[in-house]
Amino acid sequence: MRAVVVSQWGGPEVLTETTIDRPEPGPTEVLVRVHAAGVNPVDWKTRASGVLIDWAPTPIVGWDVSGTVEAVGMGVTLFQPGDEVFGMPHFPKQAGGYAEYVTAPARHFVRKPAALDHVAAAALPLAALTAWQALVDTADLRAGQRVLIHAAAGGVGHLAVQIAKARGAYVIGTASAAKHDLLRELGADELIDYRSSDFAEAVRDVDVVLDTIGGDYGKRSLRVLRPGGHLVTIAGGDGLAVDADGVRVSVLLVEPDRQGLTALAALAEEGALRPLIDTVLPLEQAARAHEIGELGRTTGKIVLTVAPGEDQA
């Protein structure tokens, strides 16, 4: 099968297309023919240094996949060949998403929503599960609560806006002014241009903050939380106390989650959750996808098409 491997840790140029043996599904596993693979910041961060991952002999980055079940291993009852599925297998261990085939536990996938094509479905799992696990599982966001989402137009942020809105929350987002109209369409109630305003001065009495940026954003976000509020960060918790000034602080690393993925698929099927696609490139241009992503200017997600015939517009 074709795959884009990491020849050594470094810049985008270390991503090399090659041919390797196709994997075979073991007990409780499925073999998925990948139609599209999502690209996430963790992809280029691990490509640069190899951190986080328990690497296989042939390093292949990528965790977001959408495709068709090709074969099932012993004991699998959820799927059969021909089923269209999507998921985020194995994270943070190697999944090998930048390849024509992936094997993983069957329960790391769910059926692809009919409302989404493979490109859109591949854009969802890691970013949407991150938002879901932060807002729903960790913060228990409820109707009527106020939530502040940093980098609201980013890969995680724009999905978090929609998830929070579906939960009935009042959604505040930080983003450049050029992206405000788009975020209002996605459901944001209040927006702050981080280039011209200090969110820590503009917002008060927030129940939940989702920090996707890191740096000093975490500490500054503590100032906007009401007593008993909850800060969830996916950007590391350096310098943040577990409990600070009567608020809670949680540091989240996303994990495979069939229940959460099922809930996200239902939202997508209802039209309440749609990923924004910034760039679509063929698998062989994975290095270019990383170059674009590392600029930090994308709105929504970058996706690689793998199977012939997928949309490459």
Q: Identify whether the C-beta of residue 89 lies closer than 8 Å to the C-beta of residue 52.
A: no
Q: What is the DSSP string of 110-144?
A: EEPPTTS-HHHHHTSHHHHHHHHIIIIIIT---TT
Domains and CATH numbers, the chain: 2-124+275-305 (3.90.180.10), 128-251 (3.40.50.720)
pLDDT at 50: 82
SS3 at position 284: helix
pLDDT at 57: 80
Instruction: From first to last of the 313 residues of the chain, give the pLDDT tens digit.
Output: 999 999 999 999 999 999 999 999 999 999 999 999 999 999 999 999 887 566 778 899 999 999 999 999 999 999 999 999 999 999 999 999 999 999 999 999 999 999 999 999 999 999 999 999 999 999 999 999 999 999 999 999 999 999 999 999 999 999 999 999 999 999 999 999 999 999 999 999 999 999 999 989 998 999 999 999 999 999 986 666 556 568 999 999 999 999 999 999 999 999 999 999 999 999 999 999 999 999 988 999 999 999 876 654 3
SS3 at position 251: strand
pLDDT at 54: 65
Place of tokens 């079940």: 69
Joined tokens for residue 123? 């854009």
What pairs with residue 34 in β-bridges? Answer: 67
Whole-number Å distance between alpha carbons of 257 and 245 = 32
